[in-house]
Every structure is written in structure tokens, then in C-alpha cells.
Amino acid sequence: MKLNKPLKTFTWTNWVILSLLTLFLFFIFLFSNNRDYVFSGEEQILTKIDVAKDMVFTRHYKPPYDFIFINVGKDLELVKDDNGGDIAITDREKLASFIRILADRDQHKYLLADIFFDLPSDHDSLLTSEIKRLKRAIFPKHLTDTAELPSVIPVPSAVADYKSNVKQFSKFRLLYKDSLKTIPAAIHEELQGKKYTSSFWGVFCNGNYCLQTIPPRYYIRPYQLTTAKTFPYFNLGDLLILSGDSTFYDQFLKDRFIVLGNYETDIHPTPIGKMPGVLILLNTYLSLFNGKQQPGALWFIYLFIVFFLINLYLFYGKVKVPKIPDKEKWWHVFIQEQLNSQLAKLFSVVGLCLLITVFSELVFKIKPNTFIIFIYIITCQGLIKYYKIWAAE
């Protein structure tokens, strides 16, 4: 598209207008990407981009730790709920035995235990005494609209909740209510010595700006545990049977990052398929570890240049204004143009948004949601053409 006049003839007013429009688009883009919610169609497209990238750039992921995955879904006990009915929970006697092993030797790397203690059990005092001795561990806490849900056992905890508007997990928030850290952020602080803070301007990690919500990269997937057997994966009861061997601790738990959770029923739909909740937490932490939440200065410069060029061509590019035939109203022409010309341009605008996303992901390792850019361009194009048709009437 050609400009109405050469750039060298732009006045300072033109440059100020362009700068303000660019800043406006920049801030609504950041606001959109810091929200918990996504557009369903865009989510599916971004997932396909991930899958395509994995196929084109095939590489073996090297995790930063030696992981072991432990399933508590087959080791259950029955307790009474508030209404007197039976409900299955994790077998806390077995869990206490496992925690005792960790606390006695104290040479594990970390324990991520996605188990929430909302109902009492006969073995709570035993489990409580063992957890008090445990170091380098974290458990989930859950929030209501007004408070935290109570846990019958005191544990080191952080928020494990997420919000979604597409009936599946999509993005994970780093902080709630300005100060409540989620499990991925809390692990990142403890293991990497980071510090997450919140202010009016957003969330910061060690003073550097972070996106408040991120779509995690799925580094570790369920099939790698059950089918490919890329990582050691055990049921809790089976692992305890092995614990009597003198080499057990050194072989399975020493220096290991232990990922404990219910891989049977705590299942959440995600863009790439069903996934246990504990793997969502782990993959989000690994995304933080790899800097997926922290765009650098070059990313902001890239966005500012792109948004400047978009506004330049939207507001100063030559637009073909359709003539109004005799005996027709301007709004008849406007509707006809929308149906014929404007809708035909949707694919090119979608292509531009995809290009922005793909380039950001490949170069800066940040996968933004660009639907807000699509809305901005289509809206501005329609309004500008509307204005020119009206002015020419």
C-alpha cells in the first residue's frame, strides 16, 4: 500500500498522532495478553503452530533436573465427607511413609506435591509430623472469590488455580491478588533465587517486566511417562514396596525432582489434549525457568515497530474510496464494500497476525495472542472507509 504523502513531508503533528496510536495499540495488546482469557479459535491456531514447530524443529528436550513421577491415584483410602458420604482421598498413611523417607535422608532436589488436604483422616497427625520435618517441598492451596480454602494439614503451599473461558486450561497466572504467588512462581523463586513482585505497572521478576499470564510450553507430556517411558514413573504403593532395598534411596530419590500427584483422575483438558494437573504446574514452572514469561527489550522494540507500521498504513495509506452510484445511499455502498472488499481482506489480516505471532515465538520465545490486533485493524479499516465515503457524499 502506498502512502498519501512521502514520510519526509510529515509534520510533527503527524508523528505525534502516529506515536499516540502506536502506544494505544501497544497498551491494549499488553492488556489483552495479561488477561486469563483467550479466544477459542486463536487458541487452536496457536496450538497448531506449536505442533508444527515441534515437527519442523525436532529436538530432544533436556530437562534441568532428574525427574521422578509418582502417582497417588491408585493408593486411596475412604473418609467421610461433610454429608456423611464416603469419598476417596490419597492414602495418607502411605504418603506419611514416603514423606518420612524424604525427611530422614533430606537429599532430594525438590518435591512438587499436587495434593490438597481438604478432608480429615485418621492418619493426619502422623502425616503432619512428617511434613513438618520435610524441606524443599510445596503443596497446593486453592482460592474462593473471597478467601483461601482451609487445609486440615499445615503445609508449605502456593496457589494452584487457573481461570479459563474456553472450557480447557489455556494460560497460567503468576500472581493472584497482587501478592499470592502460584506454585510455578514459588518454585522459581526457591530454586533459582528469583523474586516476583507486583505493582501498578504489572508483575516483575527480579525487577524485569513479566507477562502476568502465560501459555506454558508443554515440555513433558503424559505419553512420555506411560508409553515412551522417557522418565521414571511409579505408583506410590509400588515405590514403597521397593523402599526396603538398601540402594532404593540413591537409585530413585537422591538429587531427584519429585513430581507427586494424582495422574488418574486429576485430569484437565488442554490445547494439546488431556493432562494431569501436576504436569500443568510442572510445565508452567519449566516455562518460567526458560524465560517464557519475561520478554526482553528487543521484543518491545519489535512490537513498537510493527504497531507503528500498522498505524502508518491504516491512517496514512491510500484507500480506494468507492463512488456512490446515483439513486444509492452511502450506507448501501458501505455494506456492499464490507461484503465484497472488507471480508476479502480478512485472510490477509489473519496472515499478518499469524506472522507476528510466529516471528515472536521463533525469535523471542514469546507466544503472544494477537486477536486484539486483528480486531483493531478490521475496526480501523471499516471506520476509515466509512468516514471517507461519508465525507465524499
Give the phi and the psi of residue 69 in degrees, each rounded to 5: -110, 130
Single pTM value for the model: 0.86
- Residue 294 CA to residue 343 CA, distance in Å, equals 36
Mean pLDDT, residues 242-266: 94
pLDDT on residue 262: 97
Residue with cell 507427586: 260
Cα→Cα distances 283→69, 75, 275, 290, Å = 13, 25, 11, 10
> What percentage of the chain carries pLDDT values higher than 90?
52
Mean pLDDT, residues 60-83: 90
| Contact call for residues 27 and 335 (beta carbons, < 8 A) | no
- Residue 252 CA to residue 255 CA, distance in Å, equals 9
| Contact call for residues 130 and 159 (beta carbons, < 8 A) | no
pLDDT on residue 316: 84
pLDDT on residue 159: 95
3-state helix, strand, coil in the chain (%, to 5): 45, 20, 35
Environment class of residue 55 by beta-carbon count within 10 Å: exposed (0-12), middle (13-18) or buried (19+)? exposed
Whether the CA torsion 128, 134, 140, 142 is positive or negative: it is positive
- Of 248, 234, 245, 237, which Cα lies nearest the Cα of 102? 248
pLDDT one-digit tens code per residue, 281-325? 999 999 999 988 888 889 999 999 999 999 998 888 776 655 555
Least confident of 15-24, 71-80, 321-330: 321-330
Cα→Cα distances 72→57, 67, 108, 109, Å = 35, 16, 19, 20
| Contact call for residues 248 and 265 (beta carbons, < 8 A) | no
393 vs 130 pLDDT, higher one? 130
pLDDT one-digit tens code per residue, 121-176? 999 999 999 999 999 999 999 998 888 899 999 999 999 999 888 888 889 999 99
332 vs 27 pLDDT, higher one? 27
Packing angle between helix 346-359 and helix 40-56, nearest 10 degrees?
A: 50
- Residue 318 CA to residue 148 CA, distance in Å, equals 56
Whether residue 89 is predicted with pLDDT greater than 60 in this model: the reply is yes
Rg (CA), the chain: 27
- What would the grid cell of residue 69 be? 513421577
Q: What is the DSSP string of 185-202?
A: HHHHHHHH---EEEETTE
Whether residue 344 is predicted with pLDDT greater than 50 in this model: the reply is no
Domain boundaries, the chain: 7-56+296-392, 66-289
